[in-house]
Chains A and B, each alone.
Chain A
Amino acid sequence: MSTNGSAAPAVGTPATGVAPSALSANAAASAVIRVEHVSRWFGSVVAVSDVTFDIGPGITGLLGPNGAGKTTLLRMMTGLAEVSDGTVTMFGEPVRDNPPLYRRVGVMSEHEAVYPFLKGRDFVRMMARLRGVEDPEAATEKAIGLVDLAAAAELPMGTYSRGMRQRMRLAGTLVHDPEVLILDEPLNGADPRQRVHFQALLKRLAGEGRTIVLSSHILEEVERIAQTVLLIVNGKLAASGGFRAIRAALDKRPYHVRVMADRPRELAAAVVRLDSVDAVNVDPDGALIVLSRKVRELQVELPRLAKEEGISLRRVEPLDDSLESVFGYLVER
């Protein structure tokens, strides 16, 4: 995979350690999906801004906070939505208004609505027939088996739990054995066992040479299965590459830690001398706001220092552990 987000530089190189120029050349040669300078705006609101990347075989995670533009981007990649600017191609063909392409592509949108009156098996069979599968019956049974839902296949989908609906929708997405899978938040509603099953299934499908794009707003979820990551924030490509590179970038980010103690000014004077601390402020209610790039060391040094100084720590809490702040940090870099 290569990226060329003009809005923000790529973070690091992929975990393979391949030099960016060589990677770009390789990826360009093996690109299945190519997104070039794609933007989408709704009136004066820019949802996706000048995003460029290629995606090749394997699992690619599209990561970003809610409202970042992931779904809009995926919808443009699947031809469901028009681009305002730029081009999206798959196997070298335009994705928009090109129905024959869907023989090779399976898409599971974020919407969880189903036909409540259809039995699970009827839904998957219908998807097989719509996609021109030669033997719809056999393909239906195989797809339902893949998602491990044969026991519920004769029940109307309106009676399914959220996780069961998602799995049956996935069966409908897989029924025509597509080369490319595009899945928007597929693990919504899945319980831990289903997640493990799903992750194993995706890895197996990717191992067969398929191209899989999966979006999520959960960092750890993507980390477990995706070899490469596209990080979307505020409609821009904030970072891309191997997960280790992105993890390394995250580890270097400064943390703000709020510390409540019985003698805050004395503690501030002592804490500022620590190697793990970059700066200290005392806020109006007497709490210390400690800025640190070595938060793990701080976790060890701070209690020891307090004990040496005879200061009681009442509360220690991180201020910016939210996903949005993590993504925001990567965008600002």
Chain B
Amino acid sequence: MGAVYSLTLRQLSGRWRLVIMTVLAALPVVFTAVVVRDSTAPFIEEFETIVLGTMLVGTISPLIVVAIASVAFGNEVEDSTLANLTLAPIPRWQIVLPKLAASVTVALPFILVSALVTSWLAFNHDVLATWAVTVGALAGLLMYASVFVWLGLVTRHAMAAGLLYIVLWEGFFSGYVSGIRFLSIRYYSIALMHGLDPRRFVAQPNVGLGAAVVVAVAVCVLFAFLSTRRLRRMDVP
């Protein structure tokens, strides 16, 4: 598995991709730094909803992950180098898991730093709140990565499909249609934040911490399984 992991790390570490990730990860931090200096700063509930819920977890984090995870397989499908891996005598899950792990490894520093610094500034150095936001964002990273790695195997337009998903589903429908919120990754990331620090995100519909953890694990396992199955059944270019 080490060979696939290190190969994928090299593939995903292009200079321009890292520059774009840095800019994206910096946006919530800059926004927060500006807002907390402003005497007309919004109430903390508004900040939680707009900056952390919508901007960080619902937009920036999935944007970073889609730019990385959707090409973990997508680029190899596109340039037909995937056969180098699938013609190896290793089970397909030993290709999927290192790809997923490499995607998480590349995205992790950006999302970790962004969530950590944003919440540290916003919640005035509140350790519990910072811890809750960071863990929730990282859980979101794992779920988004599982979904977008799978997407890279099912369509040659994974990046576009992923962007549509982020904008329409995570950003629009699940934000405004309460009945389908429970089908969005953002919802469970925020539920985890609320579960770890019950003082925060009280305006969100509540799901217990245990249920949020179970759903997060289930999403990761389900999409890793779907990716493995897809890799076994697809025509490899």
> Which residues of A pack against B, CB within 8 Å?
75, 78, 80-82, 97, 99-103, 105, 107, 109, 111, 113-115, 117-118, 126-127, 129-132, 172
Contacts and interface: CB of A to CB of B under 8 A. Distances in A.
Interface of B: 2-4, 7, 10-11, 79-81, 83-92, 232-233, 235-237
A112 B226 CA distance: 29
B38 to A, nearest CB: 45
Nearest to B84: A127
Contacts of B2: 129
Contact of A109 (B10, B80, B235): B80
A115 B11 contact: yes
Contacts of B236: 80-81
Given A80-B83, A111-B237, A127-B84, A99 B11 contact: no
B85 A130 contact: yes
Nearest to B85: A130
Nearest to A129: B3
Contacts of B79: 111, 113
A131 B90 CA distance: 8
B143 to A, nearest CB: 28
A131 B88 contact: yes
Given A113-B81, A114-B81, A130-B3, A80 B89 contact: no
A269 to B, nearest CB: 59
Contact of B83 (A105, A109, A114, A118): A109
A130 B235 contact: no
B83 A111 contact: yes
B237 A126 contact: no
Contacts of A101: 89
Given A111-B83, A130-B84, A75 B91 contact: no
Interface centre among B86, B89, B233 (most CB of A within 10 A): B89
A132 B89 CA distance: 8
A117 B86 CA distance: 20
A13 to B, nearest CB: 34
A99 B80 contact: no
Nearest to B10: A117
Nearest to A109: B83
Nearest to A78: B87
B82 to A, nearest CB: 9
A97 to B, nearest CB: 5
B7 A115 contact: yes
Contacts of B81: 111, 113-115
A130 B11 contact: no
12 contacts: A81-B235, A81-B236, A97-B233, A100-B89, A102-B87, A107-B83, A113-B80, A113-B81, A118-B10, A130-B4, A130-B84, A130-B90
A121 B99 CA distance: 22
A293 to B, nearest CB: 44
A103 to B, nearest CB: 4
Contact of A103 (B84, B85, B86, B89): B89
Contacts of B90: 99, 130, 132
Given A109-B80, A113-B81, 7 more contacts: A107-B83, A114-B81, A115-B10, A117-B11, A118-B10, A130-B85, A130-B88
B129 to A, nearest CB: 41
B88 A102 contact: yes
A105 B86 CA distance: 12
B232 A97 contact: yes
Contacts of B89: 99-103, 131-132
Nearest to A107: B87
B71 to A, nearest CB: 14
B23 to A, nearest CB: 23
A80 B77 CA distance: 12
Of all A-B residue pairs in the complex, the 4 with the closest CB atoms, nearest first, are A111-B80, A130-B88, A113-B79, A102-B89
Contacts of B83: 80, 107, 109, 111
Contacts of A103: 89
Contacts of B4: 130
